[in-house]
Amino acid sequence: MSFEFEETAIPNVILIRPQIFPDQRGAFWEGFKASDFVGQGIPGCFVQDNLSRSKQGVLRGLHYQLEPHAQGKLITVLEGEIYDVAVDIRAGSPTFGRWIGKRLSAANDLMLYIPEGFAHGFQILSEQALVAYKLTTEFAPKYERGIIWDDPSLGINWPIIKPILSKKDRGWARMEDAELNFRYPEEL
């Protein structure tokens, strides 16, 4: 297998470490391999790739798309370092409202898979960062929603307490007022 998969404190949010092959020229590794991912319960089909370049202090999120256009995301940092956060917003989930935060960087080579039914955001810790994320569903603007980054009910410990935000990200509702339509799958 080309990857190590590690469950986090929230089931189905998975930290991924690729197997890296260094030599005198540099290094090589696989960024995605459907058979390995499917074997770990991660979708093997991503339909959209996004790239985001941001400067230090920028916070993007907490974003999600409503059903039937919910998105699973595979997050990879190509340059710099971020603090990546996933919030469980699935009604009926034993971890509803809980969040997980992980430092991802070009130096540590970690990836994070965030399934459908989670709000997602990240904050740039380095001078700048280039973030790539694969999506299981295409962007559908009519279904885009968000939760305010500093919602006190979530208590997310963002490393930078005064982030740079877009107008849209400053205007999201608290979780208690956010439009949610996710159900926790009974089979998990």
Task: Tell me the backbone φ, ψ of residue 34, rounded to 5 degrees.
Answer: -50, -45
Is 120 in the active site? no
Rounded to whole angstroms, the Cα distance separating 25 from 35 reads 28
Rounded to whole angstroms, the Cα distance separating 123 from 20 reads 26
Whether 21 and 28 have beta carbons less than 8 Å apart is answered as yes
Catalytic residue from among 64, 83, 113, 133:
133
3-state helix, strand, coil in the chain (%, to 5): 10, 45, 50
Is 63 in the active site? yes
Whether 125 and 83 have beta carbons less than 8 Å apart is answered as yes
Residue 176 is encoded by which pair of tokens? 């208690």
Catalytic residue from among 63, 64, 83, 113:
63
Catalytic residue positions, numbered: 63, 133
